[in-house]
């Protein structure tokens, strides 16, 4: 199982098996902390092979600069999914996952991480930073 695409973005959608991503980013600026980011999405595309057949669990965690969970574990997304047997003509299949977040807490400026796990194994750690901005002029 391979994670072939992972993005934090303004919005994402799975459109007939195509992963549509709008406004990918890795930095959120705020005039003051703490604050809240109103809405964002995480777009994931997995490449699956015959050996991945069976039940799996996808988890996504926001990790703060101290290594703690920004969103409590019990409120973080858990998606159970099945990988079916591949059709005889296919070498692999792909599967998209889109997770929407509203009211993402931004407690303080710093470097954060979005950790993507399958069955407890980390597939990706996307960097994310919250920075303090000032009015120019």
What does pLDDT average to over the chain? 95
40 vs 135 pLDDT, higher one: 40
Instruction: Fill in the DSSP letter of residue 33.
Output: S
Over 70: is that where the pLDDT of 30 sits? yes
pTM value? 0.93
Using alpha carbons only, give the angle 78, 104, 22 rounded to the nearest 5 degrees. 85
Where are the chain's structural domains? 2-132
Over 90: is that where the pLDDT of 136 sits? no
CA-based nearest residue to 49, from 5, 97, 1: 1
65-80 confidence digits (pLDDT tens): 999 999 999 999 999 9
Q: What percent of the chain has pLDDT over 90?
A: 97
CA-based nearest residue to 67, from 34, 113, 126: 113
Mean pLDDT of 100-112: 95
**With contact defined as beta carbons under 8 Å apart, do 20 and 104 qualify?**
no
Mean pLDDT of 11-20: 97
Over 70: is that where the pLDDT of 137 sits? no
Determine the pLDDT at residue 135. 75
Judge residue 97's burial from the number of C-beta atoms within 10 Å of its C-beta, 0-12 exposed, 13-18 middle, 19 or more buried.
Answer: buried
85-94 confidence digits (pLDDT tens): 999 999 999 9
In the CATH scheme, what architecture does the domain 2-132 have? Sandwich (2.60)
């Amino acid at each position: 199982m391979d994670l072939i695409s992972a993005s934090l973005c303004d919005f994402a959608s799975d459109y007939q098996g195509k992963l549509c991503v709008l406004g990918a980013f890795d930095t959120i600026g705020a005039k003051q902390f703490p604050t809240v980011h109103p809405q964002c999405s995480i777009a994931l595309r997995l490449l699956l092979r015959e050996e991945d057949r069976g039940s799996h669990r996808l988890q996504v965690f926001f990790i703060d600069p101290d290594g703690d969970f920004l969103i409590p574990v019990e409120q973080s997304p858990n998606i159970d999914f099945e990988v079916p047997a591949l059709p005889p003509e296919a070498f692999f299949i792909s599967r998209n996952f889109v997770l929407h977040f509203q009211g993402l807490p931004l407690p303080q400026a710093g470097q954060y991480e979005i950790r993507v796990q399958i069955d407890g194994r980390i597939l990706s750690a996307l960097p994310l930073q919250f920075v303090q901005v000032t009015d120019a002029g």
